[in-house]
Amino acid sequence: METGKLIQQLGKHKGTSNSSALRSNVGCISVTPEASSAFFTALKEDFAFDHCSLISAVDNQSGFELVYHFSIVGESGQMLEVHVDLPRDTPTIDSITHLWGGADWHEREAYDLMGIYFIGHPDLKRVLLPDGFAGHPLRKDYVYEIHEEEW
Amino acid sequence: MAEMWIHMGPQHPMTHGLWNLRIKVDGETITDAVPELGYLHRSVEKIGERRKYFMNTTLTDRLCYASAMTWTHCYCLTVEELMGVETPQRAKYIRTIVLELQRIASHLMWLGAYLPDLGLITGFLYGMRDREMFLNLLEIPSGGRLLYNYVRIGGVKRDLPPGFAAKAERVMQTLEQRLKEYEDLYDNSKIFRMRTDDVGCYSASDAINWGITGPNLRSAGVAFDLRQADSYDAYPELDFTPVTTSASDGISDCFSRYRQRIDEMYQSMDLIRQALAKMPEGEVMADSVPVRASGEAFRRTEDSRGEALMYLVGDGTDRPYRWKIRSPMFTTVSASPHFLKGYKVADVPAIMGSIDMCIGETDK
Amino acid sequence: MSRQQVRGNPRMRRGLGSRTSDPTTMMEDPPSGDWLTLRSDQFLKWVDDAVYNIAEQTGIRDVVNRVTRPIFNWALRYSPWPLHFGIMCCALEMGAAGGPDHDSERMGVVYRSSPRQCDILIVNGPVCEKLRPKLKTLYEQMADPKWVIAMGECAIGGGPYWDSYSVVAGADTFIPVDVYIPGCPVRPEALMHGFLTLQKKIREQEPGYFLRR
Ligand code: SF4
């Protein structure tokens, strides 16, 4: 499917906004966290995005932003970037692990390093840092001691 | 029979890096597996925010040390996208050549690490011997053996010296001869076949759902190669189709993953020859590269191990605001319990070795 | 009388050395006959009494040491077995040093996978907080005499990751390091030079005592 047509159709879904085309085969769209679950299901079932590439969490100071990258495994290499804005005090969103198995550890990593909670994730615990680590280090307000020495 | 948990790692000859595999066994059969990562978590994404854009190539080189060139290239491609820099045509060809050389070196490293796991110690010696030829080749333009810092934002560090093509051709001819020998040696080796045939199987549809990419996916018969699907550098101008193998229809096992990497080495050599023949003259570095950037960008490339994706957010300063790395192995390891279950404990090195672990990129 | 019967007979419990059935002589059996049935701590005490102290007093120990030291030192120097343990990039160069082009095996460097069989711990990469306790355990599991090589900038002082929140500032903050090899990455030749340096250190500092305490 062409990117223009794709984002046009996706834009009809509830809770979507700001749809645009980034490159010839890459689209971009924003979704509200409430509508995200239904949107992702449609993405998987109706639009055949069968590969979840990456889930990145961005700390925007005022809130968090989740950026999903989905792609189609096929000749076209069609990609879609989905932005979801989350409030700073309750950064929660529905898990997509049941749709894309590959999203499992990406969600765990976002929880580990950024402190985003994924509702419905089967095993949401730290993946890179040791258990009992205090805080979520990739947040901008995380401070740590740097052993800076005099040169 | 009582079930028990066995820890394999962090120091274990099977791991090929620094991670821990906990397996639950019932007798000799694996009933559950839990991979544990994070022993090499250097927080590259966080300290990358403290460094300027061009300084981060030091960190990306060290992301996956067996395939340093491809990761730096992925980063530079993303930053170029973010800053809107156009790379000169000759630099694109040079990048393609060094990327493919790096891919061969990485696959040879894998071959040298995998075969001793299965009891073929000579495999290590052969793999390392041939890898050394390619490291010497990459050392010519870059000056480094393992970590090159050769691909830069806007191009490459310096031009290929005269006579490089002839040297590369000689090395490739040697490798071609030797690969034929290895195929005779391993493909018909009873020990090797018994330990790899029908071990660690997964189907193509499962692999796509679990997020497995790269040679591990193509070994299940899926012709998906980002060099073609989301093309970059000189690849659109080269003539190739993704190579695939599969054990049986749409199933990947350890042996097909081995075959896949051997076939990819042949393909890489073909690509290098094409690129060397077509290479235009000209500059190798863009005229001006900005220091600051704003907005966001992502690019994905075909790393030696699968889909590498970098996502960058710039806030108008000379340092990235957020830098996120997708490592192909991170997802593949997360799927490993699925294809470990049901096999014997002795199959663990064969299975985990065959997916070509690299912990540096996984733990970031 | 076979050995089995001697050990199985409660009346003959005191060992092979006492070939008599007289109970009084059995009680005053000289310690030299007891080695077969002793527990390890008893054995050590017996070694102390029977060998070490006597050797010390009579001055034999010095003589023995002077004779055995070159042999032991030579053996230690030319069989430095490192632990097969890779952390990061420098581990690949460690592998390359063991490969056919550089072949560190000609200096006796054979990689072993069990810490119990090793003399050298090569720290070849950054030590993260999650890894530090495990590395400490590995070091403690190795049998004496043992040495540590800090390979690369990361192991020396954090390297490119010096300002990270999870990387320890150098291996020498928690284990003693004998040889530092700078480089990022350390070339195989440099690692071999490090082994030679360690050999020099062993030659000069390792007593190589036969009668070690
Ligand atoms: S010193 Fe450099 S090459 Fe060695 S492990 Fe550290 S970063 Fe890698």
Q: How confident is the model at residue A1 (pLDDT cuts 50, 70, 90)?
A: low
Is 80 exceeded by the pLDDT of residue A39?
A: yes
Nearest-Cα distance to chain C for B209, in Å, is: 30
Does residue C90 have its Cβ closer than 6 Å to ligand 1? yes
Give mean pLDDT, residues C171-178.
Answer: 87
Please tell me which residue, B336 or C45, carries the higher pLDDT value: B336
Report in angstroms the alpha-carbon separations of B177 from B136, B138, B245, B274, C101. Answer: 19, 20, 22, 19, 19
First to last CA, chain C: 37
Average pLDDT, chain C: 76
Domain total in chain B: 1
Phi, psi for C106 (deg, rounded to 5): -70, -15
Rounded to the nearest angstrom, the distance between the alpha carbon of C154 and the centre of ligand 1 is: 6
pLDDT of residue C2: 39
**CA C130 to CA C136: how far, in whole Å?**
11
pLDDT of residue C208: 59
Tell me: the pLDDT tens digits for C47-69?
Answer: 777 777 777 788 777 787 778 88
Inter-chain residue contact A137 with C162, CB threshold 8 Å: no
Report in angstroms the alpha-carbon separations of C42 from C7, C26, C50. Answer: 18, 18, 12
Nearest by CB to B42, from C100, C115, C166: name it: C166
What chain C holds in terms of domains, given with CATH numbers, is 8-58 (no CATH), 80-204 (3.40.50.12280)
Q: How confident is the model at residue C25 (pLDDT cuts 50, 70, 90)?
A: very low
Share of chain C above pLDDT 70, in %: 78
Nearest-Cα distance to chain A for B203, in Å, is: 14
**CA A21 to CA A32: how far, in whole Å?**
19
Question: Within 10 Å of residue B158's Cβ, how many Cβ atoms?
Answer: 14
Report in angstroms the alpha-carbon separations of C148 from C129, C176, C180, C187. Answer: 19, 7, 9, 18
Q: For residue B149, what are the domain limits?
A: 4-363
Cβ atoms of residues A1 and A78 within 8 Å: yes
**CA A72 to CA A2: how far, in whole Å?**
13
**Degrees (nearest 5) of the Cα angle B141, B235, A22?**
115
Q: How confident is the model at residue C212 (pLDDT cuts 50, 70, 90)?
A: low
Least confident of A94-108, B212-226, C7-21, C139-153: C7-21
Q: CB-side exposure of B237: number of CA atoms within 13 Å?
A: 16
Least confident of A144-148, B77-81, B312-316, C5-9: C5-9
pLDDT of residue C3: 38
Identify the segments of chain B with pLDDT beneath 70.
1
Q: Burial level of B309, CB count in 10 A (0-12/13-18/19+)?
A: buried
Interface probe for A, chosen from B224, B324, B359 (most Cβ of A below 10 Å), is B324
Which alpha helices (H) appear in B49-163, and where do they start and end? 57-61, 68-83, 89-117, 121-142
pLDDT of residue B1: 61
Report in angstroms the alpha-carbon separations of B72 from A25, B64, B68, C181. Answer: 24, 10, 6, 26
Domain total in chain A: 1
Nearest-Cα distance to chain B for C194, in Å, is: 18
Nearest by CB to A137, from C130, C165, C169: name it: C165
Average pLDDT, chain A: 82
Nearest by CB to A54, from B217, B309, B321: name it: B309
Q: What are the chain A neighbours of B37 within 8 Å (beta carbons)? A: 127-128
The CATH number for A25's domain is 3.30.460.80
Q: How confident is the model at residue C18 (pLDDT cuts 50, 70, 90)?
A: very low
Rounded to the nearest angstrom, the distance between the alpha carbon of B42 and the centre of ligand 1 is: 12
Q: DSSP secondary-structure letter at C83?
A: B
Helix (H, G, I), strand (E, B) or coil at B259: helix
Inter-chain residue contact C101 with B38, CB threshold 8 Å: no
Rounded to the nearest angstrom, the distance between the alpha carbon of C88 and the centre of ligand 1 is: 7
The CATH number for B355's domain is 1.10.645.10
Inter-chain residue contact B322 with A59, CB threshold 8 Å: yes
**CA C156 to CA C136: how far, in whole Å?**
16
ipTM, 2 dp: 0.87
pLDDT of residue C27: 44
A: neighbours with 3+ CB pairs under 8 Å? Answer: B, C
Q: For residue A58, what are the domain limits?
A: 3-150
pLDDT of residue C7: 39
Q: What are the chain A neighbours of B321 within 8 Å (beta carbons)? A: 58
Q: What are the chain C neighbours of A142 within 8 Å (beta carbons)? A: 165
**CA A111 to CA A133: how far, in whole Å?**
12
